[in-house]
């Protein structure tokens, strides 16, 4: 009886060790690695969705609905403004409000969080916006 329990325990322990070894050998990107989002990932996150964003320079939070027709509706500092948006073939998201020219930026995922980035002349990347929440549909229409 003891030898059968011992044998079962050995099998369980060996299975647990094998599982840990396999987890340690994963070849997919780590959750901690920063990478630029693909055009398809950007589409899934933004098209037809309302997104909460936090500007890391001004600390302003805004809520923007990204209509599939290219219209953007944004509420920031309790003011609603209209603009346009698009996604370029390389995955950059472009956004313009009022008479301002559209600014196009890449998005990255870093440790499970989404950011808009701005590279300088030397290629150093600065995170300028953190996207905190993505909701399906136009959440601003309900206000």
Q: What are the sequence ranges of the domains in the chain?
A: 35-142
**Whether pLDDT at 27 is above 80:** no
The CB density around residue 117, as the number of other CB atoms within 10 Å, is 16
Contacts of 46 (CB under 8 A, 6+ apart): 66, 85, 87, 93, 134
Residue matched to tokens 């959440």: 139
* pLDDT above 50 for 15: no
Residues facing 126 on adjacent strands: 118
- Per-residue pLDDT at 142: 67
pLDDT at 120 over 70: yes
Query: By mean pLDDT, which of 29-33, 40-44, 49-53, 118-122 is the weakest?
Result: 29-33
* pLDDT at site 33: 85
What's the pLDDT score for residue 72? 98
Task: Average the pLDDT over 50-74 and give the result.
Answer: 98
Statement: residue 26 has pLDDT above 50: no
pLDDT (0 to 100) of residue 3: 59
User: What was the pLDDT predicted at 138?
Assistant: 97
Of residues 132 and 123, the one with the higher pLDDT is 132
Fold of the CATH domain 35-142: Lipocalin (2.40.128)
Distance between CA atoms of residues 99 and 56, nearest Å: 24
d(CA 18, CA 6): 18
Query: Above 80 in pLDDT, residue 10?
Result: no
């Amino acid at each position: 009886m003891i030898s059968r329990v011992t044998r079962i325990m050995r099998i369980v322990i060996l299975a647990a060790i094998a599982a840990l070894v396999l987890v340690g050998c994963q070849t997919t990107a780590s959750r901690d690695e920063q990478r630029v989002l693909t055009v398809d990932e950007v589409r899934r996150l933004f098209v037809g969705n309302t997104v909460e964003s936090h500007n890391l320079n001004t600390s302003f939070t805004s809520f923007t609905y990204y209509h599939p027709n290219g219209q953007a509706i944004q509420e920031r500092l309790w003011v609603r403004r209209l603009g346009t948006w698009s996604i370029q073939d390389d995955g950059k998201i472009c956004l313009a409000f009022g008479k301002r020219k559209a600014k196009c930026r890449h998005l990255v995922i870093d440790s499970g969080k989404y950011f808009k980035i701005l590279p300088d002349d030397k290629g150093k990347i600065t995170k300028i916006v953190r996207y905190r929440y993505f909701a399906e549909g136009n959440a601003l229409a309900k206000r």
